[in-house]
Amino acid sequence: QHRHLLELLKRTTVHGESNSALIIGPRGSGKTALLNHVLKELTEMKRVRENLLEEDCQFFLKNNFLSGLLQTNDKVALKEIIRQLHLENVVGDKVFGSFAENLAFLLEALRKGDRTSSCPVLFILDEFDLFVHHKNQTLLYNLFDISQSAQTPVTVIGLTCRQDILELLEKRVKSRFSHRQIYLMNSFDFKQYIKIFKEQLSLPAEFPDESFAQKWNNNVQHLSEDKTVQDVLQNLFHFTKDLRSLHLLLMLAVSNVTVHHPLITASDLHEASKQYRMDSKANIVHGLSVLEICLIIAMKHLNDVYEGEPFNFQMVYNEFQKFVQRKAHCMYNFEKPVVMKAFEHLVQLELVKPIERPSVRAQREYLLMKLLLDNNQIMDALQAYPNCPTDVKQWAASSLSWL
Amino acid sequence: MNTWQQSKITYSWFGKPMSSDRKLRTFQYRGILIKSERSRTETCIQLGEFILVEGENADQPFVAQLLDLYEDGAQQKHAVVQWFSHITEIPQNKRKLLKREVSPQEVFFDQVPGYDTDIAVETIIKSVMVIPLHLGEELPIPLNKEQTFYVKQSWDGKCFKDLSPDTFCKLKEANKKGGGIPNSSNSFIPSDIISPLKKETERIVRSATKPKNVELEIESKHSASKSSLAKERHSQRVANGIKTPTARKKLQLNSPTRSPKGRMRGCEVLELLDDDCDAVAPLEPSATKRKVKFTGILGSPPKIPCANDKSKSMFDTAEHWQRFSDTIRLSPYNKVKDSSEKAKNLSVKDDTISLIGHQELCSWSPVLTPRSRRICAQKTSARITEQISILNTLELSQEEDFLSSSDSSYSSSSEEEEDDVLCTPEKKTKSSRIFSTPKSSRKSSFHTPVKTLKKTPLPGTPKTPRNATPEIPRRNHEAQKPASILEEARLRLHVSAIPESLPCREEEFQDIYNFVESKLIDGTGGCMYISGVPGTGKTATVHEVISCLQQAAENDDLPSFQFIEINGMKLTDPHQALVQILELLTGQKVTATHAAALLAKLFNTPGPKRKTTVLVVDELDLLWTRKQNVMYNLFDWPTQKHSKLIILAIANTMDLPERIMMNRVASRLGLTRMSFQPYTYKQLQQIISSRLNSMKAFEEDAIQLVSRKVAALSGDARRCLDICRRATEICEFSSQKRTPEIVRMAHVTEAIDEMFSSPYINAIRNASLHEQIFLKAVLAEFRRAGVEEATVQQVYHQHIVLCRIEGMQSPTISEIMAICSRLGACRLLLVESSNKYLHMRVRLNISQDDVMYALRDE
C-alpha cells in the first residue's frame, strides 16, 4: 500500500502524470498517517534531487489539504484551494469574487498548464465522503476531469472511511475517477498489538536521563508480560483494533505517573481501562436522588409490563403512587409537582426522552416518553448506589414484591 | 453608454425620398437625421459618410461607410454599408501577415464576403472621419483621435492588400464631401460628431491661447490612450488570457509611443493647470458631457503630488486626500477649478514642488533603478485605487439618473482604467509582465483600498478579475521522459493522451460533421442532441469534429465560425451558462439576467457582421431549472432567423428531452438526435491497440480480457484505459529485479480484481472481535424478529448472550454504542442518527449471506 501510493505520487511529480486515488479504511487505521509519511518521503527524495542539481528552488509540489469537515460546501472548498495555490487573485489571505468567478478562474488556471511544464498539484480531500454530498459534485467532477485531461498534472487523493464510497459518486464523476482504491485494514493480531503497545510506551534512545529510560523500558517489558496487563489489552483488542483507543488508554495510565510513583504498574493500567470502559449513562444514575431512582424503577416496571411501549408522566406517577402507598412508612409521599420536577430533571439528563417534540397543546403530563436505560444498567447502577433504601431495592428487583 | 444613447435618440429621414422602387416598395433617401433628445441637437448623416455602428461590444463599435439608405415595405429603416475592420476583428493568426504594427486608429477596408452589409438604421451611433492614406505614410498627429480613423489597406479575409487607387479616390472623395458641405442647418460642424457641443468647445479651445492648446492636446492624448487601452483590453480578451505573442507585442507597441508623452504630461498638467485655471473656466457650459473627460484629467494631477509625497514624504497625505475627496463632490466646474487650484496650492505651499517634482518625474523614468521605481509605482497605485474608488462613487451617484446601473459601472470601470493609463505609463514600458500581475477583484479596490495598499505585491492596473491571468506556477524541473516501454505505454494509455484519431466512432463523427457543415454552409442555425453513457467518447468526438471544421475553415473550405463550449458541471448555477456564453462571445462580464437580455438581443436581431457560432453544451441535464428558461432560451435562439447559432448538446440520458424538458423546450430541441452506444469489446480492444500503436507492451489475450470485462460491465473506455494502466504498474512492480517484461494475463486479472472487488468482506474479516460479535448479534436478532431492522437495545441483549456463550466479558452499553457507530461509519451498518441512543435502529448494508460468509471462515 505504501509503495503503491509512493509510486503514484512519484509519477505525478516526476512524469507529470495525472492520477486519482482513494484511500479507504476504518477510522484510526492510519490513512492520514500513511499519506503524511509518503509525502515526507517524497519531499526528502525531492530534496536529494534538488541538491544534486544544485538549484535553490522551492519545493515545487503544491500540496492542497482539504478537509470535508472544514470545507462544508464547494464554495468554501474552492476558496481554500485558490488560497492554498497562491493564485493571483488572492489578496492577503482572502479570496474575493463570487463563486462562479472563482470556479472559472481556477479552471482557467489549471487548464493553462500542460503536462510537461506546469508544476504538479496534489489535492488531498480528507473526509472524501462529505465532498460527495456537495451539490452536483461539481468540485469532484472538475478535479477528476482535470486529472483525466491534458492539463496541469494533478493528483487527487481522497481519504474516507466509507466502504461504499464509489456508489455515492455520480455516474459521470465515477467514470472520470480512475478507480484506484487503496484499502487500509487493521489486520494485525494480538502479538503485534502487544508489540505496538511496547513500542508506544518505551522511551526513545535519545531520552536525556539514560538510567531512568532503561528502568522505564525494563518496566514496560515486564508489563507486557504481566498477566493482568495482557488481559486488559486483550479486552481492548477484542473491543477495537483502532490504535487510537490504545493511545487513549495509555494516556490515562501514564497520567498517573508522578515523582513519587515513577513507573506505571499493572494496576494503573487496569484502573485506566476501567475508566475507559465506563458506562456513561449508568454513571449518571449514581448521582440521582432517591426519588429520581424510584421514578426510573417505576419506568422500568412500566417497560416490563407494556413491553417497551412509550409511557407518560401520569403513568409513572401512578406507578410510583402505588409503591408509596404500599411502603408508605419508609418513603415520604412527595407532592405531584415535586415528582414532576424530578421527572423533568431526568428528561434533561436525557435518561428519558420524549418521542415527539413537545408541542404547545399537549400537556406535559401526557407527553409520551421512552426510557433510555436498559434493565441491566439500572440494576447495576442500583447495586453501586450508596445508601439505597432496601425497599426500593426490593421493589426494583421485582415489580410484584409489594403485592 | 450606447444603450443609453439609443434610447434618447430618434431617427428620421432627411429630405424627400430620392427614388423609389415600386416593385420592392422601397424608398431611398439621401441622408438620415439623428435627433438626440437630451442635447436637443440634430445631426444629419448623408450617403457616403463614415459612421460608427454598434457592435457586440459596447466599447468596440464597428466602422463603416454609408452607401445606401432605404425604407422597406414594413417601414423599417435600413442602411447599406461598406465595412471597415478593426485590427481586433482580424483573426490572430492572420495578423502576422501584416508584418507591421498597427495603430489602434487604423482600420482596414473590409472585403470579407461573409458579412451582412444591410443593417438597421438604429444601430448607427454617429459619424466619424475615415482618412485614406498610402501605405508608406505615417499617421498624422490627430486632433481628436477618437473620431478619426485611417485606412491604408484592405482586408478580404485572407490577406491584406493595398487600397486600389479607385477606392482610394472614392474614399477621399467621400471624406471631402462629408467634411465640406454643411448639410444640416442644425449642426455646426457637418461631418463630425453627434454632440456639436463637444465640437464647439473644441473649437473654442483651438482658437484660444496656447496653453489651452496644450490642454486640448492632453485631452486628445488622453482619449487616445483610452481608446488604445480599450483595444488592448479587447485584444487580451480575444486572446482569452493566453497571452499570445501578438497581444504582448501590441502592448509594447502602444507603450513606447505613449510613455514619453505620459511622462511629460504629468508636469505639464501641473504647471498648466495652475496658471490656466481661468482658461478652463469658460469651458463650464459644456456641462455633463464633458464631465467625463474632466474627471479623466482630474485623475492626473493628484498623481504627481502623491509621487512627490512618496519620495519626499512632505505632505500629510491623509488630509490631502480628504480634501480632495471633498472637492471632488462638487459640481463638474468646481471640480476642475478646485483641482487646478489645489495644484496651485501645492506649488505655493511648497515652492520646490514643481521643481523637484519635475526632477522627480524626469528621473522617474530611465534613471531610477527598476526596484525603486517599482516601490514608487506601488505607492502610486495604492493611491490611485483610493482615488478611483472616490471617483467611482462620485461617478455613480451623478450618472445614476440617466444611466442604467450596469452601464454606469461599466463606464466607471473604463474610467478607472483610463485614469490608470494616465498615471502609470512608465510601468507599462518596463515590461509587459506587469500588466499581468496580480489583480484582486474590483470589489476589493472599491471597498478595501487600504488592504490593497498593503498587500498588492506589484503595482497594477485596476484590480479587475477580468485582467487576472490565472496560472499555476511553472515547475522547476522538466518532466522526466518515459524511460521504459511500460512507462511509454502508460503514458499513451492515460485518458488525457490525445489519440491521433478516434477509432470506432467514425460513423458518429461523420454524422456530426455533416450536420454542422451543412448548417455552416447554409448559414442557418440548428440543434443536435447527443447522448450516451459516460466514457463513450461523446465530448472527444465533438471536439474532433470542431477541430476538423476549424481546419477546414482555415483552409477556406467553409465559412469561418466561432466556437464556444460550456460544461454544465463547470458552472455553479444554470444561469451562469448565459453569463459564460456572453463572456466567451464578447468578453463582457455581466449578471445572469442582464446576460440573458443581451444574448437575446444579440441572437434575435439581425446583427451586422455576425459569424456563425457553434456552441457545445456539455452535461446538458445540469442546465435544468424549474422554469427551464435557460434551456428554452438556448434552444430557441437557433430557430431565430438571424441567430446563425448551431448547438450541440451533450448529455448522458437518451430520453432527456422527454423526461425533464417541457414540451416547448423539447420541441425546440428538434429531432436531430444521436446516441453513442457503449463500446463493444472489439471496439475497446481496437482502442487500446490503437493507443498502444504497435508497441509491444501488452499480450493480445490480456487486452482482450480487459476489453471483454469492461464491455460486459459498462463499455466505459476510461475504465478500460485505467485498468490497463494499473496493469502496467503491477507488471512493473513485480518485475523490478528482472528484465522488463510485457503485461500478461495475470497482471491484468490482478488489476481487474483490485478495481472491482468488494471491500466489505475483507473489512469484516479485519474487524475486531466484538465488532464481529455485534454483527452476529445483529444477524441473530434479525432471525429472531423476522424483520431486517432492529434497535440497539435488542441487539445488545443478543450480544450479551453471544458473549456468555463465548465466555467473554460482556461490554457495557457505551462500548456497544461505540462499536455500532464505528461500523456505521464504515457503512457496514446503516445507522440512524445517534441521539436516540438505545432506540436507534440498525440495518445491514450488505446482504446477510455476505456477513455469514465473512464470519464463518474465521
Task: Return the axis-axis angle of helices B769-785 and A227-239, rounded to nearest 10°.
Answer: 50
Minimal CA–CA distance to A265: which of A229, A231, A213?
A: A229
- The answer to whether B298 touches B290, Cβ cutoff 8 Å, is no
Report the amino acid identity of residue B55: G
- pLDDT at position B339 is 43
Which residues make beta-bridge pairs with B34?
Answer: B11, B43
Question: How far, in Å, CA of B710 to CA of B751, rounded?
Answer: 12
Across the interface, whether the CB atoms of A112 and B439 are under 8 A apart is answered no
Euclidean distance between CA atoms A44 and A39, whole angstroms? 9
B14 is written with which cell numbers? 432627411
Band of residue B565 on the pLDDT scale cut at 50, 70, 90:
confident
For residues A290-303, average pLDDT: 82
- The residues facing B21 across adjacent strands are B26
Q: Are the beta carbons of A228 and A251 closer than 8 angstroms?
A: no
Q: Per-residue pLDDT for B792 more than 70? A: yes
> How many Å apart are CA B565 and CA B559, to the nearest integer?
19
Nearest CB to B474; choose among A115, A118, A151: A118
Nearest to B452 among A91, A119, A179 (CB): A91
A376 close contact with B: CB closer than 8 A? yes
Do A23 and B438 touch, CB atoms closer than 8 A?
no
Inspect the interface and report whether the beta carbons of B771 and A240 lie closer than 8 Å. yes
d(CA B789, CA B779): 10
Could you say which of B482, B498, B828 has the minimum Cβ distance to residue A163?
Answer: B828
Specify the amino acid at residue B681: Y
For A329-355, write each residue's pLDDT tens digit: 666 677 888 888 888 888 888 777 777
For chain B, percent of residues with pLDDT exceeding 70: 41
Nearest CB among A104, A120, A241 relative to B475 is that of A120
Taking CB atoms and an 8 Å cutoff, what residues of chain A touch B535? 175
Three-state SS sequence of chain A? CHHHHHHHHHHHHHHCCCEEEEEECCCCCCHHHHHHHHHHHHHHHHHHHHHHHCCCCCCCCEEEEEECCCCCCHHHHHHHHHHHHCCCCEECCEECCCHHHHHHHHHHHHHHCCCCCECCEEEEEECHHHHHCCHHHHHHHHHHHHHCCCCCCEEEEEEECCCCHHHHCCHHHHHHCCCCEEECCCCCCHHHHHHHHHHHHCCCCCCCCHHHHHHHHHHHHHHHHCHHHHHHHHHHHHHCCCHHHHHHHHHHHHCCCCCCCCCCCHHHHHHHHHHHCCCHHHHHHHCCCHHHHHHHHHHHHHHHHHCCCCECHHHHHHHHHHHHHHCCCCCCCCCHHHHHHHHHHHHHCCCEEECCCCCCCCCHHHCCEEECCCHHHHHHHHHHCCCCCHHHHHHHHCCCCCC
Question: In sequence order, what are the residues at sequence separation of 6 or more whose Cβ sits closer than 8 angstroms to the Cβ of residue B824?
Answer: B830, B831
Any chain A CB within 8 A of the CB of B444? yes
Are the beta carbons of B170 and B163 closer than 8 angstroms? Answer: no
B653 has pLDDT over 60: yes
Whole-number percent of chain B with pLDDT over 90: 0
CA distance A75 to B154: 50
The pLDDT value recorded for residue B123 is 67
Asked if A26 and B733 come within 8 Å (Cβ–Cβ), the reply is no
B438 or A309, greater pLDDT: A309
Residue among B472, B579, B768 whose CB faces A237 most closely: B768
d(CA B225, CA B230): 8
Which positions in chain A touch B800 (Cβ < 8 Å)?
376
Asked whether the predicted pLDDT for residue B606 surpasses 70, the reply is no
CB A310 within 8 A of CB A272: no
Region B15-23: mean pLDDT is 63
Neighbours of B737 (CB within 10 A): 5
Three-class SS state of B612: strand
| Least confident residue range of A222-236, B110-124, B798-812, B829-843 | B110-124
User: How many angstroms away from the CA of B564 is the closest CA of chain A?
Assistant: 15
Report CA-CA distances (Å) from B674 to A158, A339, A344, B654, B687. 36, 75, 67, 9, 21
What pLDDT is stored for residue B37 in this prediction? 58
> Are B479 and A116 within 8 A, CB to CB?
yes
Chain A, window 305-334: residues with a beta carbon less than 8 angstroms from a chain B beta carbon: none
Residues in CB range of B675: below 8 A, 6 or more apart: B530, B531, B532, B654
Quick check: B476 contacting A, CB < 8 Å? yes
* DSSP-assigned states of every residue in B224-247: HHHHHHHHHHHHHHHHTTS--HHH
Q: Cα separation of A154 and A250, whole Å?
A: 40
Q: Taking 50 as the threshold, does the pLDDT of residue B670 lie above it?
A: yes
Query: Residue A87's pLDDT is what?
Result: 53
Instruction: Please compute the mean of the pLDDT values over residues B82-98 and round it to a whole number.
Output: 64
Instruction: List the 301-320 stretch of B: residues with Cβ below 8 A of A.
Output: none
The DSSP string of B720-754 is HHHHHHHHHHHHHHHTSSS----B-HHHHHHHHHH
Is B666's pLDDT higher than 60? yes
| Grid cell for residue B196 | 456639436
Chain A residues with CB under 8 Å of B443 CB are 96-97
Nearest to B339 by CA among B296, B380, B307: B296
- List the helix and strand counts (H, then E) for chain B: 34, 21
A117 touches chain B (CB under 8 A): yes
Q: Which of A367-371, B3-7, B427-431, B463-467 is predicted most confidently? A: A367-371
Average pLDDT in chain B: 62
Answer with the residue of higher pLDDT: B166 or A117.
B166
| pLDDT value at residue B434 | 33
Q: What is the mean pLDDT of residues B730-745?
A: 68
Closest Cα partner for B335 from B364, B303, B387, B297?
A: B297
Question: Which phi and psi angles does B34 have, rounded to 5°?
Answer: -110, 120
Name the β-bridge partners of A63: A122
Q: What is the pLDDT at residue A328?
A: 57
A109 touches chain B (CB under 8 A): yes
- Which one of A27, A74, A175 has the shortest CB-CB distance to B822? A27
Beta carbons of B838 and A176 less than 8 Å apart: no
pLDDT tens digits, B410-460? 333 333 333 333 333 333 333 333 333 333 333 333 333 333 333 333 333
User: Hunting for cell 524626469 — which residue is that?
Assistant: B362
Residues 608-637 of B with CB under 8 A from A: 619, 622
CB contact under 8 A, B477 and A49: yes
Do residues A279 and B813 lie in contact, with contact meaning Cβ atoms separated by under 8 Å? yes
Share of chain A above pLDDT 90, in %: 0
pLDDT reported for residue B731: 78
Q: Partners of B225 in the beta sheet? A: none
Write out pLDDT tens, residues A171-184. 888 888 877 777 87
Asked whether B379 and B387 are in contact (CB, 8 A), the reply is no
How many CB contacts within 8 angstroms connect chain A with chain B? 252
Q: Does B834 touch chain A (CB under 8 A)?
A: no
Site of grid cell 509510486: A7
* pLDDT range class, residue B207, cuts 50, 70, 90: very low
What amino acid is encoded at B289 in this protein? K
Q: Which of B51, B101, B126, B110 is nearest to B253 (CA)?
A: B101
User: Is beta strand B106-110 parallel, antiparallel or unpaired with respect to B148-155?
Assistant: parallel
* pLDDT of A82 over the 60 cut: yes
H-type helices in B424-558, by residue range?
425-430, 442-447, 449-455, 485-493, 506-522, 538-554
Strand partners, A165: none
Among A304-313, A388-397, B217-226, the minimum mean pLDDT is found in B217-226
Give the pLDDT confidence of A242-267 residue by residue, as tens digits: 788 888 888 888 887 777 777 777 78
**CA quadruple B727, B733, B737, B739: dihedral, nearest 10:** 20
Alpha helices in B90-182 (DSSP H): 92-95, 165-180
Cross-chain residue pair A60–B473, CB shorter than 8 Å? yes
The predicted model gives B23-52 an average pLDDT of 65
> pLDDT value at position B345?
45
Is the per-residue pLDDT at B543 higher than 80?
yes
Confidence of residue A151 (pLDDT cuts 50, 70, 90): low
Say whether residue B830 is in contact with chain A using an 8 A CB cutoff: no
Smallest Cα–Cα separation from A273: which of A240, A303, A306, A296?
A240
pLDDT value of position B14: 66
- A279: nearest CA in chain B? B814
Confidence of residue B279 (pLDDT cuts 50, 70, 90): very low
| Shortest distance, CA B626 to any CA of chain A (angstroms) | 16
According to the model, what pLDDT value does residue B275 have?
44
Mean pLDDT (whole number) for B555-564: 80
Which of B544, B486, B556, B555 shows the shortest CA–CA distance to B516?
B544
Cell 523637484 belongs to which residue?
Answer: B356
Query: What pLDDT sits at residue B5?
Result: 42
Decide: B588 and B103 in contact? Cβ < 8 Å: no
More confident residue, B58 or B782: B782
Residue among B573, B652, B763 whose CB faces A171 most closely: B652
More reliable by pLDDT, B373 or B167: B167
The string of pLDDT tens digits covering residues B103-143 is 666 676 666 655 666 666 666 666 676 666 666 666 555 55
B808-833 residue pLDDT tens: 777 778 888 888 888 888 788 887 77
- Inform me whether the C-beta atom of residue A183 falls under 8 Å from chain B C-beta atoms: yes
Which residues neighbour B420 within 8 Å (Cβ) at sequence distance 6 or greater? B381, B384, B388, B461, B462
Query: A10 or B343: whose pLDDT is higher?
Result: A10
From chain A residues 256-285, the ones with a CB under 8 A of any chain B CB are 277-282
- Smallest Cβ–Cβ distance between B813 and the set A89, A148, A374 belongs to A374
User: In the predicted model, is pLDDT for residue A4 greater than 60?
Assistant: yes
